[in-house]
Each structure stands twice: as C-alpha cells, then as structure tokens.
Structure 1
Amino acid sequence: MAGSSLPRRALGRTLREHRIRAGKGQLVAGLHIEISPQSVGRMEDGRKIKISTSQIRDLLDFYGITPANKERDEILALWGEVKQQDQAAKMQGTTKGWWRSYSDQFAAHFDHYLDLETAADQLTTHQLSLVPGLLQTSGYRRSLTIAADPDLSAVDVERRLELAARRQVALDKDRFRMKALLSEAVLRHQPGGPAVMADQLRHLIAASERGNVTIRVVPFSAPAPLGLVARSFALLEFPPLASRLVEPPVVYVDGYEGALYLEQSDVINRHRRAIAHLEQVALSEDATGDLVCRIAKEHAE
C-alpha cells in the first residue's frame, strides 16, 4: 500500500464533509490556514499538497471539530496514516505513481483512473465492445492504439504498449480480484484482424484460469439485456484502511472525449444492481470458456 491514494482520498473527503457542514467555503478555509482555495480543493480531491500537521489542526478548529470531539482524533489518525505512507513511498522511491513517466501517452483524466486501479483490490467491469485493458494482448492493444491515432510514431506506440503491459501486473497482486462481464460482441469484433482476435481470445481463456479472474459472457440471446442500457463501466472497490475507514467504491465510465468518476451511493447501488442482473443472464464460466474457444477457432480459420 506504499504510495496508495486511499488514505489521502479518505482524508480529503472527510475534510470536505466537515467544511460543508460548517458552512465554510474553500476560499475562507484556505485563507484561515494560509493556503490557496485551489490547494484546499486539491486536498479535498485526495491530491497531494504541502500542508503541515499544525495547519490540519487549525482547519479542524475552524470547522468546529474541537479536541472534545472524537472525530478529531480519527481525522488526525488518518492524517498520520497519510504521512506514514508518504514516508514509506519516499523510502521506496515511489513518491509518484509509476505511470506518471508515461503521462505524455494518455489523456489527463486517465491519471486519476490509474491511481484508483493501483489502489483497488477488486475490479468489476462490464464491456460492450472491447476487451478490458488488464486482459488485452499486445497485438490487440496495438491495433486499438493505431486505430485511435494513425499518425502516432512507432516509439510512442511502443511506449503505450509498455504502459499497458505494466498495468497488467495488477493481476499478480495479493488479494486483487477481477470480474469481467463481456458482451458477446467483444468476442466477435476483430481489431487487428482475425488472427489478432484469435490470439486475444486464447489469452482470455488463459486469464480465466487464474484464481483471481472471472470472465463471463453475456450472449446476444440474453433476455432483457440491461447491459445495453448500463453500457460499459468499471466498478473499483478498495481494501479497508489501517484506521478501519472504508473508502467508497468508484464507478468509472470512459468515453471518447473524457471520463466520469462516480461516487454517489445511489449511483453505486444502481451499478451494483446492473452487475447482479448481468450475472443472472451471463453464461457460466464453463459455458463462457466453450463459447470463447469456439469463436477463437472461427477467427483462426
């Protein structure tokens, strides 16, 4: 968990809730502890800023969270956890996410997703047209990369493939679990041609043999396909913090021009219901394996 964003995100969310409850704006909060309102916003978004323990204490006083309030001790304990992880990350040389060295190769919004994906211990994804990034082969990823940007240099293509490969190390993490619910269309599209797709499907079969990866296909014949309404999304869930706080899940929805990060409890619950419905109509893991094998052979012919 060294370098994890979870404690910082939990601290930021807690401070935002108390600021709003106290009826304070980011401008006056920043003025009170001599930082900019933009810094207050970044802190509340779970991003790293320069701030001291004394400033955190002053902010809590400003929000009316006095030493007599037990929440104060909980918040300061969370702040201690943030500092501890910062120190551990510094000792390990991981003060920044490893992916930031590839920042010229992905959209600005994807930096936040990679931060979340690195911290998550469970990922449930529903995909209507594409194989999830963590399960893509290099040939499949290459075809998508070139299709999205035909003028990309060979060097940049290779760097993007390297980024994709490094992301897939997540599958080897302790306690990480991935569940992929894929439309049958994902298996039948042919990015890069039939040979590339046949290899990709064989890779899915191999990935499904991992103890921490579940892949199930929602066939075209599935009744009442709620997935067509819910569309593609990923639900990221996180392990409990050392302070026993639980960081809420995040639904990530990627689009051609940007992305959405959704944390509202009603939104999370709707997506959980969509997942439950998809699991009801999806093929079993064994039937999924049979279908993937059959379509892989069709692509290879």
Structure 2
Amino acid sequence: MNPVSSRARTPTARKLQLAALLRHLRERGGITQRDAGASVWPRSSAGSVQNKIARLESGDTGIEVDDLNRLLSVYGVEDGEIAELALRLQADTSQRGRWSGYRSIYSEPYRRYIDLEEDAALIRHVATEQIPELLQSRGYMEAEFPHGAGTPSATPHAIKARLARQEQVLFRDDPPQVHVVLSESCVRRVQGSKAVMRDQIEHIISLSKKWPNVVIQIVPFLPRPLRSTAIPETGILERFVLLRLAAPPLPGQEPGHLDFAFTRKGNELAWSDEVRHYETLWRRATTAALPPAETRLFLRDALYSFG
C-alpha cells in the first residue's frame, strides 16, 4: 500500500494521522518533546514548546508548513516519501465551510466524532435503550422528533443529517466494518409505536443479511443456559463506540491503526482516553451476546411482541 493513499478523507482524521506520525518519528529518534519544540521555536519557553508538541501529538492543534519542515529536519527525516506524507496530511485541515446546512445542528464534540466515523475502517458500538443512529430506520428517526417538538426546523435537519451519515458510512463503495452489540432493551423499548418498532427490527435484520460489513449481536435480558457468565452490568449499561482509523504505514512497515473511544451519557457524546478499558468491555459484550445468526432468530421472535 502506498502510504499517501491512506490519507484520511476528513480534516479531523488527517490531523490525528499526522499527530501519530510525528509522535512515531520523535520517539524513533529518542528526542524529548521539549528538545523537539526548542529546536523549532527557540525563542519560546521550555514549558511552552513542550506543551505545543504535546498538543500537536494529541491532534489538538495543527502546525504551519514551515514549522513542520523544521520539525521533520529535527527528526532526521531524509526519506522523501515520509516527508511527502506528512505534508499531505498537514494540508487542508481547516473545517471552514464543512458544517453549514443541516450538519450545523451538531455540537463540536459530535462533529469530531462524525469526521472520525466517516474515516473509520472499523466501528464497534455498544448500545442500550435506543438503536444507534447508523442502524435507525427513517420511521424510528421521525418518532424521536414528534411533530411540534422543539424548533420546527430542527426535525428535518436532524433526520437528513442521520440519513446522510448512513450513506457516507454504511452504503459507500468502500464501507467500514460495523459491529454493533445491542442490549435487548434497544428492541423492547417502544419508540413511536408498535408499527415503528416492527419496521425498525425488520430494518436491522435486513442490514445484517444484506450487508456483509455489518455484524449485529444482541445481549438478551436472560443469558442462555450453560453460558459462562453474563456481561458485567457496567459493560452493557454503559454506551460507547470504538472507532479504528488506518495509520498510514511507513515505508517497509506493516500498516498500523489508531483507536479512539467515545462514550455516551444521556445525549452527550464525550471523547475518552480509556481505550484499553473499553476494549475490555467490548470483548465482554461480544462474549455475552448471541452470535449473529442467533441474533436474527431472536429479532424475528421479537417482531411477534409488536403484533
């Protein structure tokens, strides 16, 4: 794979790919953040330059082209392919104009998530109470925004935004792997009406059968007989998403990946640094859940409960 071809689509993901690349180059050279920053910005204080490199390596800030070239020189980058990759990742990281129209309804944390969702090679989602937005049918979305609720203009924009995300993620030519673990509460809690729920459940079954990149499992309220242990309560009652992005490979190295965790508290979405913790919860969730084929049988049985 050509490293440049792994460049992300969105400014947010490109900034994080650049952050990971620069951190790798600095650590490979055995250079501290303070020394790296002091070499590029010699007139700034030691604390200031260390903080700047730290923020750069976490994707919280960008870097000017001239400063990037100086930093690559400090890291001893002589490979033109690596320098080209870094410069291409640095280019066009502005979000200006990307969040107009119906997409402007999203908060800043959610915008960051949506960018990474679009660029993800793997999306792993644990959900309770409500079907995740990527898997929602239009009727289920409309039931969340009943006529007259909130500002009238927000309802169609919210639905258009979710449908656009589904097109960008699930139905594009090179879709990511999407693996979702649902608590049984997602398909028992009525949103709108029984007819809406029937349509929603049929939609999930159809997605899991039609699209090989979509895997859906359900954790029933009652574990199956002889099953080792049910998932610990904190593992299924806590909603979270793990997003995996491709890390552009360096010449002569195998492609790597970058993992990010997001948690949901009510309607709030938050970035989490506890990726390993949520990886553990994910393994427990998939172990406790029914396999995909059994999940489809379970969902077909659930249809009868809605008439």
Q: Does 1:168 align with 2:166?
A: yes
Aligned partner of 2:59 in structure 1 is: 46
Q: Structure 2 length normalisation: TM-score?
A: 0.75
**Structure with a larger share of its residues in helix:** 1
Runs (5+) with no aligned partner, structure 1: none
Distance 1:190 1:247 in 2: 38
| Residue of 258, 261, 269 corresponding to 1:248 | 258
Q: CA deviation at 1:112?
A: 0.7
Q: Does 1:229 align with 2:242?
A: no
Q: How has the CA–CA distance of structure 1 residues 98 and 56 changed in structure 2, closer, same or farther, with 3 Å as cutoff?
A: closer
Distance 1:66 1:44 in 2: 14
Runs (5+) with no aligned partner, structure 2: 1-7
Contact 1:122/1:236 (CA < 8 Å) preserved in 2?
yes
| Residue of 80, 103, 106 corresponding to 2:84 | 80
Aligned partner of 1:238 in structure 2 is: 245
Q: How has the CA–CA distance of structure 1 residues 57 and 31 changed in structure 2, closer, same or farther, with 3 Å as cutoff?
A: same
Aligned partner of 1:22 in structure 2 is: 32
Q: CA deviation at 1:99?
A: 5.2
* Counterpart residue identity of residue 234, structure 2: V
Q: What does 1:95-106 correspond to in 2, within 5 Å?
A: 101-106=101-106
Contact 2:180/2:216 (CA < 8 Å) preserved in 1?
yes
Aligned partner of 2:289 in structure 1 is: 282
Q: CA deviation at 1:188?
A: 0.1
- 1:67-118 CA distance string (max 9 Å, x none): 3xxxx347x855532543676x79xxx9768555435312221011011101
Distance 1:246 1:51 in 2: 26
Q: CA deviation at 1:121?
A: 0.9
Question: Number of matched residues?
Answer: 281
Distance 1:117 1:232 in 2: 16
Q: Structure 1 length normalisation: TM-score?
A: 0.77
CA RMSD of aligned residues (A): 3.7
* Counterpart residue identity of residue 88, structure 2: Q
- 1:134-153 CA distance string (max 9 Å, x none): 10112212233459x93221
Q: CA deviation at 1:24?
A: 2.7
Q: What does 1:186-205 correspond to in 2, within 5 Å?
A: 186-205=186-205
Contact 1:3/1:85 (CA < 8 Å) preserved in 2?
no
Overall identity of the aligned pairs, in %:
19
Q: How has the CA–CA distance of structure 1 residues 30 and 156 changed in structure 2, closer, same or farther, with 3 Å as cutoff?
A: farther
Distance 1:77 1:145 in 2: 50
Q: Does 1:58 align with 2:59?
A: no
* Counterpart residue identity of residue 230, structure 2: P
